[in-house]
Amino acid sequence: MNWPGRGERAQRAEAEERAAASAGEARERARRTGDVLRQSRTERGITLSDVEQDIRINRTYIEALENARFDALPAPVYARGFMRSYARYLGLDPDEAVRAVPRDLPRPTELDPMPGLRRSAPASLPTLPTLSPPMLIGLAAAAVLLIAGFVVVPRLRGTTGTDSAPTPTATAALQVDLDAPNLVGATREAATATLASAGLTPLIFESQNSAPAGTVFRQSPGAGQPVKRGDVITLFISQAAGGASTPTPSATPAR
């Protein structure tokens, strides 16, 4: 048996130290990103239930992102997708937030199929039967009849498959899928102007909040959620201290 020399052992130890240091830096970066997410959410007066309702992500996963507990998420692809949606919802840089997710996240074992459900490859492929000349002639004749049924007969009737295709209407053309813009932190005037330019309808509620007066501290649907032209976007506007305590809805922006 050839034992590793002193130089080889030193190189292996140095590589392990670099890997451990890199893993530690990744964990620290993920922890700092989680702190930024939590601080940004609390400063806007948004609860975990609000986030769960607006972006349709379970609050357990939101807490996992804020605490850098990626092992609580169902799979690495979900961890990055949830991080991107949550950062965009809070008005943060989604790409920078996704870079904080470690690249070497383990794939949860519960996603693997049960041993009894795994299929093993067959030892050999089944042998195809030998076709005789009469069988080949019969198959060719059946193919010709099938083609005639789909091509020749419709032409004799004066119709084609494309004639029955529905014509798109003007109403259908207006139903264009959009992504809800991120309006959290914007002033009331800027938010309503943005919605008007996108063909969306604002519904405004004013209530006291720690955010600056006259700015949006929450929206529903949340930023990045699919909407269509004409849909209503609910804006929660922070009210100055001493204002009315009951939220007042308004279907149009204040002039």
Parts of the chain belonging to CATH 1.10.260.40:
11-108
* Residues making up the chain, counted from first to last: 255
Mean pLDDT of 227-248: 75
Q: How far is CA 157 from CA 145, 164, 166, 196, 214, in A?
A: 17, 14, 20, 51, 67
**pLDDT over 50 (residue 251):** no
Global confidence as pTM: 0.40
CATH of 11-108, picked from 3.30.360.10, 1.10.1200.120, 3.40.50.740, 1.10.260.40, is 1.10.260.40
CATH of 177-239, picked from 3.40.50.300, 3.30.10.20, 3.40.140.10, 3.40.50.2020, is 3.30.10.20
The 10 Å Cβ neighbour count of residue 217 is 19
Residue 213 carries which DSSP code? T
Parts of the chain belonging to CATH 3.30.10.20:
177-239
The CA R_g of the chain, rounded to the nearest whole Å, is: 30
For 72-105, the pLDDT digits (tens) are: 887 778 888 999 999 999 999 999 988 888 776 6
Can you give the pLDDT at residue 169?
45
For 167-220, the pLDDT digits (tens) are: 444 444 445 678 889 998 999 999 999 999 989 999 998 888 888 989 998 988
